Structure 1
């Protein structure tokens, strides 16, 4: 017993000694990112390596989910367009801001960057902010990009990120992503982007996990009511003149439209394909003039078997929707089509595509039918697996197997 007590005392003493050793303060080496602040004061970039190009210099410093960017021009103003082309993980993204012109020495101008999947694209909304100034000889700028706005998450940690701008030069400034702190919602990872910044004070749920949301649509939270915030996390498909999105719950098809230029088209028509059956949807009610932000005009939609044939009454009125404008001045619309009025035998398992040539030639696609049974089946598998693990853990499973074998 004495020997046991002596051994235990030794263990405790060793543990206390270890605690004293580990409590000794560690030496921390500051990262370059610790010294960069995007505040319109540029001296914190003095010791950062610059990548030289024919018309200017650029530097990047990673900071968690952000990439800090510095630009110094040789001859001209800091470019807002170009765009700033970001490459990471084999994918390409775009960021840009409105041209700010030459800045006088000592003056500082702030700007906001917009993100897209192509030149001057809007799919990712606001992705960063920055400042432009003049050091007495050169126009300069610094800005910060939020990588999570592009749908990037922790999986990008350690990846090299490079940025070029054709108005600065072709050589990329690079750095490595050091630690994206928060994973983004999985709905934001699609390459065609998500809708951003359309919420208003009267809108309902803005995420698909809000238990108080009015879930009309297999938890997609889409309701055609002239309030557009419920489309916030639905993927957009870009065309040359606008963007479209589409979802379905098996009974109705829900469509969102955002224009780059001009009014939402009533004709075109909206060319639907239900597993090979083509149906053309149009509206005579779309207003000729923009509807102001915060207001919405209700419209109805008809459908026929022939493109732009307004006399075709094959299906009559098949849906309704609303037309409005977002906070950036883009004309937008949302509408729903009642599939039961299209004389289709079933939506289950069908692939639905849609495009409007007045928006672009890219088709947006969804699969028909509810996902509910698959979710329930998945939960059943998890419950069964957990039950099996508990039985094995308790030893009851082995005893039952022995009983069945007559042991």
Structure 2
């Protein structure tokens, strides 16, 4: 084999090896990170108001209601405001689905100088709407009508439940966090995350919630916008198949040039 042909062969061999390496890395990161749409019962979150709906990226699983919100960083978010032009005065909302659970996360902007009003929420499922009430609960899950909801000190509060309409329990799990009890402009805004059973919500609404349902959650005390999720189930190995196709293509190029 001449020196020129040998160099050409090495060049194409290196390209094939690089293609295979890229595909392997793609598969590993997809499985470990859970960031591609094919490795979850994915959904697409969008910002929704009367005028527009902007789509955003895939939603994955892995949430826990505990008052620590780091895992929400991988999820798309929507701006929540009453027509504020100041980016620092915009609240954030997020929504996700994992199995039977619907997850919601809202955070107040740091300039907001009052405690978040988190009792009343609106939820719409394929056009059917009801009110969600976040209320203090006793240890047995019943409503604690004398429980405190306002003027809370700094900390994470887990003693709340979620109820549909006139207080139908829908297996809610809530974490509400106050970072700055004085709610100064230099402090951090309140945050809340909660989850509910979609089966119990469906029973209350008298409908079936399938994987393609469109669900919108909003808080009228925070902003005009809501967050909307529409289920988009995919095959679990689609991402891996695409990566393997890239690897196969790389090997084919190497072999063809070798000949």
Instruction: Give the TM-score band, short-chain normalised.
Output: 0.5 to 0.7
- Would the aligned equivalents of 2:80 and 2:226 in 1 still touch at CA under 8 Å? no
Aligned with 2:98 (options 249, 266, 269): 249
> Per-residue displacement from partner, 1:26-47 (whole Å, max 9, x unpaired)?
xxxxxxxxxxxxxxxxxxxxxx
CA RMSD of aligned residues (A): 3.4
Please report how far the alpha carbon of residue 329 of structure 1 lies from its aligned counterpart in structure 2 after TM superposition: 4.2
Give me the whole-angstrom Cα distance separating, in 2, the residues matched to 1:321 and 1:392.
54
Greater RCO, 1 or 2 (C-alpha within 8 Å, sep 6+): 2
Contact 1:272 1:278 (8 Å CA) reproduced: yes
TM-score normalised per structure 2:
0.56
Normalized per residue, which structure has more helix? 2
Rounded to whole Å, the distance in 1 between the matches of 2:70 and 2:242 is 35
After TM superposition, list the pairs within 5 Å mapping 1:54-93 onto structure 2.
none
Does the residue aligned with 1:287 lie in a helix, a strand or coil?
Answer: coil
Q: Which residue pairs with 2:29 in the alignment?
A: none
Matches within 5 A, 1:344-355: 344-355=207-218
Q: Does 1:303 align with 2:164?
A: yes
The separation in 2 between residues aligned to 1:273 and 1:283, in whole angstroms, is 16
1:338 aligns with 2:197: yes
The structure having more radius of gyration, on CA atoms, is 1
Cα deviation 1:58-115 (Å, max 9, x = unaligned) = xxxxxxxxxxxxxxxxxxxxxxxxxxxxxxxxxxxxxxxxxxxxxxxxxxxxxxxxxx
Q: Conserved in 2, the CA contact under 8 Å of 1:248 and 1:369?
A: no
Q: 1:219-258 to 2 correspondence within 5 Å?
A: 219-234=60-75, 235-240=77-82, 242-258=91-107
2:224 equivalent in structure 1 = 361
Alpha-carbon distance in structure 2 between the residues aligned to 1:265 and 1:370: 34
Is the contact made by 2:124 and 2:216 (CA closer than 8 Å) also made in structure 1? yes
Contact 1:321 1:333 in 2 (8 A): yes
1:255 to partner: Cα distance: 1.2
- Maintained 8 Å contact 1:250/1:368: no
User: If the length of structure 1 is used for normalisation, what is the TM-score?
Assistant: 0.37
Q: Which runs of 5+ in 1 are unaligned?
A: 1-207, 305-311, 399-407
How many residues are matched? 174
Q: For the Cα contact (< 8 Å) 1:257–1:264, is it kept in 2?
A: no
Unmatched runs of 5 consecutive residues or more in structure 2: 1-31, 43-58, 83-89, 137-147, 181-186
Q: CA separation of 1:386/1:331 partners in 2, compared to 1, >3 Å: closer, same or farther?
A: closer
Quote the residue 1:107 is aligned against: none
